Structure 1
């Protein structure tokens, strides 16, 4: 703790509930501030531990608090919920946050840098563009089916087929629908051109950024996965070891134990679902091509597949990828120097 004071803040867009606790848990202050008022209050306050839920705008506030001499503690919301007493309101939420921090049993989330948030914004926009183009193609395929015209599922097939449909005067499409189809076609073209720019940026980052270059040496990790891992993991210092990183991403079994009997189920699926899906897809490619390779990871993946089945092997490889990625990021090592050590701990 920075001193004897813990301040819990329930974040919002305009109105912020603040609870200030002493080391004994006694409430020293209970007040609501507007945004500017909260900044004036914290700027004048002596250095303290300021607890926030790791939600929207929390990383901005974390950086601001560090600049003004405070110690931010960003706590995962799902762990704070257990400290809530009584009905849910802003003050009770703020007190639960402060008490969770005072208890000290919850590991805080590391404050993200501007660069990390830029990378995450980049991937969020790129992902939304891909979702939009897929949704647009599926919608138009469905509408064309109502006119008795079928189009294959892929975006590339749709791009080839639409010009043919627009030029064919005998396919039964009305003038009005042709106009609608043409407008959606142009919209898809614009979206794909925008996606191409994002893909170029990813490729450029993979060449220029040292961390991304080292990450792309790991099987199953291409430029997109490397960039997403880097933006999520940062410098990796928030994790003590690679196992902690894979657990934070939800790539470990869900456990239910009672009375000395331990039961393990599917993976927990905690953390960033987008990054986890990218890593699992990369692991699937590793397992699919492993029979044609002789490297240690491929042979290990084949052994797991033979023993536990294909899907478990894919998840196991995804787990190893994140563990190796943590060593590469946190210790700035290269893939070949960590592969043998990570697999030995399998």
Structure 2
């Protein structure tokens, strides 16, 4: 809709609904909603949402479908584990065991109807895995033609799926005033509950795209798992943080840093460069 209206020469400004809600004066109807939108849009400090392009929306749809398949695969795996556990069969967690489920079923006497149900779930699991692989290949093909995505791939710990989602969310990055604004939009900065001149910072806000936040945290954890082989200022900063904070806190902080690095690379048209360690300089 925003692109259609913009094609007629209008300047389109999108406002998040929860920013409009405080301006609704009474019961909800079309006239009250229109008045609230006009009131919110007239505020000089109002934050607007930049409309996404067709390619961005298409890529985001692809990521949402992949995420739905991943969730469905996890549910299917948990269901198989639950059914087997009810009959006293405990399997290790992981896809490797599920893939060889037929051989596991042959080793244990189970009711024929239960075996049929498990075989159907196993077939559904394989179907979902194939769909996920197909989507990931499509993401990689689209990423190969995206210069922004190729630059984001140079960030340590970032893979094709995360780079593609970052590129589709960021665009040119100019809708964010600074790198912290982008990190805040993903929900990787602390929530604030301050009063009486006393600052009180809580856990991360968890706003914005849950999938992107999850992927960034996973990238941070992947970076931390290979920290002994990493070098540069980010690696030194991570080691210093791990010396005094819990690994989960460090993972969220590192994810926020990766988001800020991604914004800086997109807005400044740069490639990630591993800066030398301070101790080795």
The reply to whether TM is greater than 0.5 is yes
TM-score by length of 1: 0.75
Name stretches of at least 5 consecutive residues in structure 2 with no aligned partner. Answer: none
SS of match in other structure, 1:251: coil
Q: Who is 1:276 aligned against?
A: 213
Matched, 1:336 2:273: yes
User: Counterparts of 1:258 and 1:298 in 2: how far apart (Å)?
Assistant: 36
Q: Who is 2:14 aligned against?
A: 74
User: Counterparts of 1:206 and 1:114 in 2: how far apart (Å)?
Assistant: 16
Matched, 1:164 2:103: yes
Q: How many residues align?
A: 277
Cα distance, 1:298 vs structure 2: 0.2
Matched, 1:154 2:94: yes
Q: Who is 2:42 aligned against?
A: 102
Matched, 1:122 2:62: yes
Q: Who is 2:127 aligned against?
A: 190
2:227 alignment partner, one of 271, 290, 311: 290
Cα distance, 1:225 vs structure 2: 0.8
- Residues 223 and 175 of structure 1: CA distance in aligned 2, closer, same or farther (over 3 Å): same
Q: Who is 2:253 aligned against?
A: 316
Q: Which has the larger radius of gyration?
A: 1
Higher strand proportion (structure 1 or 2): 1
Name stretches of at least 5 consecutive residues in structure 1 with no aligned partner. Answer: 1-60
Cα distance, 1:166 vs structure 2: 4.4
Matched, 1:234 2:166: no
Q: Which moved more, 1:225-234 or 1:240-249?
A: 240-249
SS of match in other structure, 1:266: strand
**Greater relative CO (CA pairs within 8 A, separation 6+):** 2
Question: Pairwise CA RMSD of aligned residues?
Answer: 2.0
Cα distance, 1:307 vs structure 2: 3.5
Cα distance, 1:305 vs structure 2: 2.2
The answer (yes or no) to whether the contact 2:151–2:272 under 8 Å persists in 1 is: yes
User: Counterparts of 2:244 and 2:103 in 1: how far apart (Å)?
Assistant: 50
